[in-house]
Amino acid sequence: MALKTPAAVPPYDPSRADMRLPAAALKFRADNGLLTPEDFLHLNITAWLYHDKQNVEGILVNPNTTIAQLRAQFGPADTRDAEVGIHSEAKAAEYFRTHPELTVDQIFTERIPCPAMCAPLLGNYFAGKPVFYYYDRRSWSGSKSAGEVLAGIYGVDTTAVAAAQIANQFDLLNNEASRMKGEHALQLKAVRSWNPMGRVVQLFNAADMPELSIWDEVESTLDTVQNLLNARRFPKAGVYLAAARLQYLLARRKYLTWKDGNDAAAEHAERAIIGVSAGIILAAVGAFAVGALAAGVGGAGATSVAVTDGAVATETAAQHLLKIRVLTQQAETFIRIASSEGDVEEIIEQILREAAAMQ
């Protein structure tokens, strides 16, 4: 599929765009598995055409570094206003600053350079170099996100990618829940036998010994997710999966508090389930937002919402998804700080009601 010619930052003409640059940006996404709805939403890829002193051309491709990536590597910033990602254009600019033997010829960036940082940067240090882009929020008046526009231009079926993501997240969580329950069962067997180590664990543990029934709710919800996946009802499956993930985290917290002590359980709660992320799950759900999510906007117990305008449907679906995100974050916080189990269970019930109200 031939890529669309990008727009140009004035005064340049779009016809001057070297199509090798957007092609390089797409190839970078494909090679690094960055074609999911979440990737399109949060990542901006830039590709810069340059030549060296022998007039040999090359293309430098860079993604931005997101706030989430920085937080995962270095922890949260001291203040919220200090939490700023590293722009892809800034990373490329730094590369060419440290390689003065290279000359930039033109620049492609998926999103128009931001007026606060990147536009002044390019204007000051790369004056006269044409800049091309695909997405400018002002042109869409908020009717479409950058992720939607970029996926459409690149010809990526984000719903197919999202469906595969939800299925993959289900497999990872299902396997992890089975593994943890199996470990729990072995611990109980050791405690209830005359195994000396098992008796020591119980002797010096003030927490009540949890039964295997703590895993019943997550297993039941995962069964629901499996049935929905089989029926290809992916967005509804995704919201149930988000609830199942919280049920798993709560059950794991109960088990680890008994097995390792409260401090160790809190430390474990800080670590994400390997490969399973609420962000990934809910971003995948968001790819289906207009249809299934908008139907649940009336709240728990709602059966349908008549929405005829596409923009309104998108907005209401986004609000519905935001509510689920906020509830998920609240539950994670309560689990991390060992707050009341009742608080967490109430939030999970709210998410389950939201899921049940969906198509």
Q: Fill in the amino acid letter for 284.
A: A
- Bridge partners of 58, per DSSP, are 50
Q: Dihedral of CA 332/333/337/340: which sign? A: negative
Assess whether the previous peptide bond of 120 is cis (omega < 30° from 0).
Answer: no
* Between 272 and 16, the higher pLDDT residue: 16
Residue 196: partners with Cβ closer than 8 Å, 6 or more residues away:
none
* Between 17 and 32, the higher pLDDT residue: 17
273-277 long-range contacts, CB within 8 A, separation 24+: 273/172, 273/173, 273/176, 273/245, 273/248, 273/249, 274/172, 274/176, 275/169, 275/172, 276/169, 276/172, 276/173, 276/176, 276/245, 277/169
Predicted confidence (pLDDT) per residue in 110-162, tens digit: 999 999 999 999 999 999 999 999 999 888 876 788 888 999 999 988 888 88
- Check whether 292 has a pLDDT greater than 50: no
User: Given this model, what pLDDT does residue 194 score?
Assistant: 61
- CB-based contact 341:217 (threshold 8 Å): no
The band of 80, judged by pLDDT with boundaries at 50, 70 and 90, is low
The pTM for the full model equals: 0.67
C-alpha closest to that of 119 among 149, 90, 91: 90
User: Given this model, what pLDDT does residue 310 score?
Assistant: 44
- Check whether 203 has a pLDDT greater than 60: no
Neighbours of 194 (CB within 10 A): 7
C-alpha closest to that of 35 among 243, 284, 263, 241: 284
* Between 48 and 332, the higher pLDDT residue: 48
Q: Strand 131-135 vs strand 103-111: parallel, antiparallel, or unpaired? A: parallel
Q: Which domains does the chain have, with CATH numbers?
A: 7-156 (3.40.140), 160-357 (no CATH)
Helices (H), 67-133: 67-74, 88-97, 118-125
User: Given this model, what pLDDT does residue 113 score?
Assistant: 96
Report the distance separating Cα 60 and Cα 8, nearest Å. Answer: 19
